[in-house]
Chain A
Amino acid sequence: MLNNINPEKGMEFGLYTLGDHMTNPVTEKKISQEQRIKEIIELGVLADQAGIDAFGVGESHQTHFVSQGHTVILGALAQATKHIKLQSSATVLSVSDPVRVYEDFATIDLISGGRAEIVAGRGSRVGAYHLLGVDLQDYDDIFEEKLELLKLLNESQDPINWSGNYRKPLENAEILPQPTTGSIPLWRAVGGHPGSAIKAGYMGVPMMLTTLGGPAVNFTPAVSAYKEALSVSGYKVDDFPLGTTSLFYVGDTTQGALKDMYPYLNQGTKLLRGSDYPKQQFANAVDYRDALMVGDKNQIIEKLLYQYELFSMQRFSAQIDLGGMPFDKLMKNVEIIGQDILPAIKKHTKRK
Chain B
Amino acid sequence: MNIVLLSGSVVGSNTKAALTYVEEILKNKAPNATITFLDLAQYDVRFSDGRHYFEYEGDTKFVAETLMAADIILIGTPVFQASIPAPLKNIFDLLPVYGLRDKVVGILATAGSQKHYLVMEQQLKPILFYMKAHIVPTYVFIEEKDILRKKIINDDTLFRLDRLVEDTFDLREANAFIKEKKEAEFDF
B187 adjacent to A274 (CB under 8 Å): no
Given A125-B55, A258-B188, A259-B188, A278:B96 Cβ within 8 A: no
Verify if A262 is at the interface (C-beta below 8 Å from B): yes
The answer on a CB contact under 8 Å between A274 and B188 is: no
Known pairs A275-B101, A279-B183; A126 contacts B55 (CB<8 A): yes
Task: Report yes or no: A282 in contact with B188, Cβ–Cβ below 8 A.
Answer: yes
Partner-binding segment picked from B10-18, B45-53, B78-86: B45-53
Determine whether the beta carbon of A274 is less than 8 Å from that of B186.
no
Measured between C-beta atoms, what is the minimum distance from A58 to chain B in Å? 17
Closest to A271 in B: B54
**Is A217's CB within 8 Å of the partner chain B?**
no
Q: How many A-B residue pairs have CB under 8 A?
A: 45
B187 touches A259 (CB 8 A): yes
Among residues of B, the one whose C-beta sits closest to the C-beta of A265 is: B188
Tell whether, in the assembled complex, residue A274 and residue B51 are in contact, meaning their CB atoms are under 8 Å apart: no
Assess whether A126 is in contact with B51, with CB atoms less than 8 Å apart.
yes
Interface set, chain B 138-188, CB cutoff 8 A to A: 182-183, 185-188
Query: Does B68 sit at the interface, judged by CB under 8 A?
Result: yes
Assuming the contacts A255-B187, A282-B188, asked whether A125 and B98 have C-beta atoms less than 8 A apart, the reply is: no
* Residues from chain A with Cβ under 8 Å of B53 in the complex: 274
Q: Contact check: which of A136, A262, A278 meets B101 at CB < 8 Å? A: A278
Cβ of A127: which chain B residues have Cβ within 8 Å of it? 55
Using known A-B contacts A125-B52, A258-B188, A259-B188, determine if residue A273 contacts B182 with beta carbons closer than 8 Å: no
The verdict on B87 contacting chain A, using a C-beta distance below 8 Å, is no
**Complex-state Cα separation, A278 to B99, whole angstroms:** 12
- Chain A residues positioned under 8 Å from B49 (CB to CB): 136
Q: Are B52 and A279 closer than 8 Å at their CB atoms?
A: no
Inter-chain contact A275/B52, CB cutoff 8 Å: no
Cβ of A181 within 8 Å of any chain B Cβ, yes or no, is: no
A279 engages B68 (CB within 8 Å): no
Question: With A125-B52, A126-B51 as given contacts, are A273 and B96 in contact (CB-CB < 8 Å)?
Answer: yes
Docked pose: A125 CA to B53 CA in angstroms = 11
CB-nearest residue of chain A to B52: A274
Contact A274 B96 (CB under 8 A): yes
Q: List A303-339 residues whose CB lies under 8 Å from chain B.
A: none
Q: Which of B51, B101, B186 lies in contact with A283, CB distance below 8 A?
A: B186
**Contacts A136-B49, A274-B96 known; A279 to B186 CB distance under 8 Å?**
yes
For B51, B182, B186, B188, the residue with the greatest tally of chain A CB atoms inside 10 Å of its CB is: B188
Chain A interface, number of residues (Cβ within 8 angstroms)? 19
Query: What are the residues of chain B within 8 A of A172 when measuring CB–CB?
Result: none
List B contacts of A259 (CB < 8 A). 187-188
Contacts of B51 in A (CB 8 A): 125-126, 136
Beta-carbon nearest neighbor of A62 in chain B: B55
Q: Interface digits, A250-273 against B, CB 8 Å rule (1 contact, 0 not)?
A: 000001001101110000000011
Nearest CB of A to B10, in Å: 24
Complex: chain B residue closest to A278, CB-CB: B101
The docked-state distance in angstroms from the alpha carbon of A261 to that of B51 is 27
Expressed in whole angstroms, the Cα–Cα distance for A125 and B49 within the complex equals 12
CA distance A326 to B96 in the complex (A): 29
Mark interface residues in B34-52 (1 if CB within 8 Å of A CB, else 0).
0000000000000001011
Given contacts A125-B52, A126-B55, A280-B182, contact A275 B98 (CB under 8 A): yes
Max chain A C-beta neighbours (<10 A), residue from B49, B182, B186: B186
Give chain A nearest CB distance to B180 CB in angstroms.
11
When distances are taken between beta carbons in the complex, the residues of chain A under 8 Å from B54 are 274
Q: Which residue of A lies closest to B57 (CB)?
A: A130
A280 nearest CB neighbor, chain B only: B182
Residue in B55, B96, B188 whose beta carbon sits within 8 Å of that of A279 in the complex: B188
Contact B68 A275, beta carbon cutoff 8 Å:
yes
How far is it, in angstroms, between the C-alpha of A125 and the C-alpha of B55 when the chains are bound? 9
| Cβ–Cβ < 8 Å partners of A275 in chain B | 68, 96, 98-99, 101
**Could you list which residues of chain A lie within 8 angstroms of chain B, going by C-beta atoms?**
125-127, 136, 255, 258-259, 261-263, 272-275, 278-280, 282-283
Binding site for A on B (CB under 8 A): 49, 51-55, 68, 96, 98-99, 101, 182-183, 185-188
The 12 sampled A-B contact pairs (Cβ below 8 Å) are A126-B51, A126-B52, A136-B49, A258-B186, A261-B188, A262-B188, A274-B53, A274-B54, A274-B68, A274-B96, A279-B182, A279-B186
Besides the contacts A255-B187, A258-B188, A273-B52, what 14 more A-B pairs have beta carbons closer than 8 Å? A125-B51, A125-B52, A126-B52, A136-B51, A255-B188, A259-B187, A262-B188, A273-B96, A275-B98, A279-B183, A279-B188, A280-B182, A283-B185, A283-B186
